[in-house]
Amino acid sequence: MGYEGKVPVNNDILTHHPDGQGEVMAHAVDACVHCGFCLPACPTYALLGDEMDSPRGRIVLMKEVLEGALPLYDAAPHLDRCLGCQACVTACPSGVPYGELITSFRGWSEPQRQRSPLDRAKRAAILKILPAPRVFSLAARVGQFAKPLAPLLPNALRSPLDLLPEHVPAMQPSAAFTPARGQRRGRVAFLVGCAQQALTPNFNAATLRVLARNGIEVVIPEGQGCCGAAALHTGARDEALKLVRANLAAFNPDDFDAILSNAAGCGAGLKEYPAILHGLPDEAQARAFAAKVQDISEYLGGLLEDGELEPVLPASRPLTVAYHDACHLAHAQGVRSAPRALLRAIPGVTVLEVPEGDLCCGSAGTYNLEQPELATQLGIRKAKNILSTQPDLIASGNIGCHTQIQSHARRQGSPVPVMHTIEVLDLAYRGEL
Amino acid sequence: MTSGKVAQPEKQALTPAVGTGLPRSKGGSLHPLAATLTRTLGPRKVLSNLSERLNYRYDAIAFGATPLAVVLPESTADVVAAVKAARAAGVPIVGRGAASGLSGGAAPTEPGLVISFTRMTRLEIDAARREARAQPGVITLAVTEAARPHGLIYPPDPASFRTSTIGGNLGENAGGPLCFKYGVTGDYVQGLEFVDAEGDVHTLTRDTYDLAGLLIGSEGTLGLITEATLRLTVPPRFTRTLMAHFAEVGACAEAVSAAIAAGAVPSKLEFMDRACTNAIEDYLHLGLPREAEALLLVDTDGDDLETVEEERALVEAACRNAGGTVRRAESDAEAAQLWQARRSVSPALGRIRPQRMNEDIVVPRSVLPEVVREIRALGDASGLHLVQFGHIGDGNLHPNILFDPRTESLEAVHELAHEVARVAIRHGGVLSGEHGIGSMKLAFMREAVDAETLAALWRVKHALDPQGALNPGKVLPPELA
């Protein structure tokens, strides 16, 4: 946000919203030159083919609403369909921080929305259950038994059940401290995430093993919680602020070389803290915090680049791995080459590129719960594209993509294993790949 | 470049599909035209809410009047129905593709009906005839992607080719880097189907009166193109890419003139000045020379590797003689990155100033050095932020004035734009090479085209669109009484 002191030119948003969030939105709108380069990058434009469901169209709609020229209810259906995947940010030559814009806009607009009681209850339930791994685990295990009933249920209840794996594992809480193996070369803090603790506990276990193997000691600071991204991206700003501040209190960036996340959505959320707190007293603290945040693949990729990554054992046979770019890793954090380089560092592994690789899988946080129809179309398309490469293995770096891809690949009859990049690396270190 | 293939586009073009029955926004009272259209065409093809209409009033350079209704036709018959309804209601009709145009061509000058062709995306390749039949909503790049498995390509490559549509390209007669060697959109048209101002459908070939030629570049002011038969070509077997940079813009233009005079026929010859290079670097971080005053990107191509490399050597020598520093692209990936950089120039300029006035002049190659120097000097003297880039091989330059309307005078911006247009006219040039006239360059038309010729063009307009219903306020300045 290098715009302090600059006055926006193409909009009047600051007049109507003279605060930190107004500033974030005004400057994002100002940066848009409406060239349309974002259109072919946008999943909803690809599906719907109309301007309102494109990033450029949405920027115009948000501007009109913020300036009071368009009622919120008129623009809302189109803004709600935005996945927040930020593929448009990658495609944008003029540097529009679209992610910050839509996040801030949702935070501002949500309290004014008139939603049905059922809708309200559903959203509240999502935001209660998702950040609480124990509750989530319980819900998931109950849901597991309800799965056969899914076809009989209304859409709102069916979509979360469809995404549940056949087997929900038991929770495995991670140790608060994992010592380095061998010579200690670094010290990091780790954000354990929410849904993945319940659904895929091996993501965290593998992360800790690989870091320790590389001489990195890992601290899981007490008092940490949900990163707040789910709340923030659905407009529950007050809820999000509580979570953000709890994490700022739990993690002292000066104590660590890096603050790591192994969920692309969470890592991107942590990196958003300065924008969320823009204009508030703890903005500087958020900046210091965000400067230390890295995705696990970004951090290990750094070690690899410096020639400091512990050598990995070769795969037992030549293995093709289709790597899926999580939007919140590739588009929101710009991390593309590191995970590929890590996979390629395993002798015997060939990384396959997925057609339409920049297009979101439809998971997008809570999107597959809120917009199941579009999410399903994108999920089917993603699974088809991935499977077209005929991989031995599918790797990605985000729990949301993981469940979405797994669920759609299975429905298309494919048994190909779906893993987190770190799990592939972990298996290779153990000689089990 | 190490391998001999033409650089593949690094990403695929996504063709938008037809919309679903998702919830629509609610709001605004229905205009009678929207009500009629909804009855005739069904609600899925008609947009009437304010949020929807607000999104169909702009292109990539200008905002226009909010339309009364928008139709998203799926067939020629839908277009006919829409035109007839608009005519009955007595409102103007503006055709629209992806609205990535840079002349204001698709931004309505008054409230009316916008017909957006983005859902007419049928595309058929006839490999034996080396032809593509495309509806107007087909994405430009999608034609080449569909043709490539048959060993064919569609050369016109406007910078926005992932976004832009064939219909929009026809409307503005779009060019692109490849047009120096391979020609512009109009050079690839074998035939057209169009709907006239009365709603009648016609099929045109290029023999008899070349009415198709007249429609190409007419920006929807003479008729609405509903299908095009496009010529496909066999791609060259080899492509070589180089980049050269110069300490002065005129030296770059001298290198271009000298290379062409020496017999080189590069497929692309693209120039950008220092400000452009820096805006691109801020976006893509490719390590381009930020200090150079001018950057030249060149492709040579052909089926004979020796000739292709000879041509590249000719360009290299011309660049060095003009004081340039030359670097060859070492891989397809590097070449693809350089061309992505070039395509991103125009929107990346938004990083420098939020608004701009862009030009599209074409001047004879022989006067290029003087022209770029004169324009540079005008910019320096004005105190405004003027940058230049463009398809320098065919003398097509895009001087852009970047400005902040709150701190810089609009009159000064217009005056500078006018001065730049005068430089082109004085050197025997024209105002538009590929963007079209739209609304952005209307003000200079009376100087660029003499009164008798304008009167003749108006007679053509009246013959094809007697009521003046088709995209009013574009291409031709108002008739003098």
Residue A75 and residue B349: Cβ atoms within 8 Å?
no
First and final CA of chain B: distance in angstroms?
A: 59
Sheet holding B355-358, edge to edge: B355-358, B400-403, B385-387
In this complex, how many residue pairs, one in chain A and one in chain B, have their CB atoms less than 8 Å apart?
153
Of A9, A52, A94, the CB nearest to B347: A94
* pLDDT tops 80 at residue A271: yes
CA distances from A277 to A104, A139, A248, B147 (A): 10, 32, 11, 50
Q: Nearest-CA distance from B475 to chain A in Å?
A: 21
Higher pLDDT among residues A226 and A146, named by residue: A226
CATH class label, B1-19+27-235+449-481: alpha beta
pLDDT number for residue B329: 92
CA distances from A246 to A138, A257, A270, A272, A273 (A): 24, 20, 12, 15, 12
Of A31, A48, A51, the CB nearest to B350: A31
pLDDT number for residue B454: 95
pLDDT number for residue B8: 37
Do the domains B238-347 and B1-19+27-235+449-481 match in fold? no
List the single residue in A with minimal CA-CA distance to B355.
A33
Q: How far apart are CA A54 and CA A81, in angstroms?
A: 10
Topology annotation, domain B353-426: Alpha-Beta Plaits (3.30.70)
Q: How far apart are CA A268 and CA A327, in angstroms?
A: 10
- In chain A, which residues have their Cβ closer than 8 Å to the Cβ of B22? 48, 77, 81, 373-374
Task: Assess if CATH 1.10.287 describes domain A311-429.
Answer: no
Say if B27 is an interface residue toward chain A (CB within 8 Å): yes
Give me the residues of B, 253-282, that contact A with CB < 8 A.
279-280, 282
Q: Nearest-CA distance from B322 to chain A in Å?
A: 31
- What does the mean pLDDT of chain B come to? 90
Residue B24 and residue A77: Cβ atoms within 8 Å?
yes
* pLDDT tops 90 at residue B82: yes
**pLDDT category of residue A166 using cuts at 50, 70 and 90:** low
Say if B233 is an interface residue toward chain A (CB within 8 Å): no
Of B52, B100, B118, the CB nearest to A35: B100
* pLDDT tops 70 at residue B104: yes
Arithmetic mean of pLDDT, A73-87: 93
User: Among the listed ranges A164-168, A353-357, A378-382, A395-399, which one has the minimum average pLDDT value?
Assistant: A164-168
User: Domain ranges in chain A?
Assistant: 13-112, 311-429
Tokens of B354: 């939020």
Tell which of A50, A374, A380 to mutate to test the B interface (max B CBs under 10 Å): A50
Tokens of B40: 């005739």
Residues whose CB falls within 8 Å of the CB of residue A10, separated by 6 or more in sequence, listed in order: A29, A30, A32, B354, B355
ipTM attached to this prediction: 0.89
pLDDT for A370-400, tens place per residue?
888 899 999 999 999 999 999 999 999 999 9
Tokens of A90: 């990658």
Of B139, B283, B354, the CB nearest to A40: B139
Of A46, A74, A359, the CB nearest to B27: A74
pLDDT number for residue B26: 53
Residue B355 and residue A71: Cβ atoms within 8 Å?
no
- In chain A, which residues have their Cβ closer than 8 Å to the Cβ of B286? none
Topology annotation, domain B238-347: Alpha-Beta Plaits (3.30.70)
Q: Which residue, B369, B371, B351, B370, is CA-closest to B359?
A: B371
User: Domain ranges in chain B?
Assistant: 1-19+27-235+449-481, 238-347, 353-426
Residue A81 and residue B22: Cβ atoms within 8 Å?
yes
Say if B352 is an interface residue toward chain A (CB within 8 Å): no
* pLDDT tops 60 at residue A5: no
Residue B350 and residue A95: Cβ atoms within 8 Å?
yes
Percent of chain B with pLDDT over 90: 75
- What does the mean pLDDT of chain A come to? 90
8 A C-beta contact, residue B218 and residue B461 = no
* pLDDT tops 80 at residue A130: no
CA atoms within 13 A on the CB side of A430: 13
8 A C-beta contact, residue A430 and residue A405 = no
List the single residue in A with minimal CA-CA distance to B102.
A35
pLDDT number for residue B25: 55
Say if B116 is an interface residue toward chain A (CB within 8 Å): yes
CATH placement of domain A13-112? 1.10.1060.10
**pLDDT category of residue B108 using cuts at 50, 70 and 90:** very high
Do the domains A311-429 and A13-112 match in fold? no
Tokens of A80: 């709600």
Higher pLDDT among residues B8 and B288, named by residue: B288
- In chain B, which residues have their Cβ closer than 8 Å to the Cβ of A358? 11
- In chain A, which residues have their Cβ closer than 8 Å to the Cβ of B49? 74
Residue B163 and residue A37: Cβ atoms within 8 Å?
yes
Secondary structure E strands in B318-452:
325-328, 355-358, 361-362, 385-387, 389-391, 396-397, 400-403
Of A49, A93, A373, the CB nearest to B16: A49
- In chain B, which residues have their Cβ closer than 8 Å to the Cβ of A71? 27, 50
Tell which of B15, B25, B48, B51 to mutate to test the A interface (max A CBs under 10 Å): B51
Residue A10 and residue B60: Cβ atoms within 8 Å?
no
Of B13, B280, B356, the CB nearest to A40: B13
Q: How far apart are CA A138 and CA A125, in angstroms?
A: 14
Sheet holding A418-420, edge to edge: A349-352, A319-323, A393-396, A418-420
3-state secondary structure A10-61: CCCHHHHCCCHHHHHHHHHHHHCCCCCCCHHHCHHHHHHCCHHHCHHHHHHH
List the single residue in A with minimal CA-CA distance to B103.
A35
- In chain B, which residues have their Cβ closer than 8 Å to the Cβ of A10? 354-355
Tokens of B360: 């599209």
Secondary structure E strands in B288-353:
294-302, 325-328
- In chain B, which residues have their Cβ closer than 8 Å to the Cβ of A353? none
**Phi, psi of A125, deg, nearest 5:** -65, -45
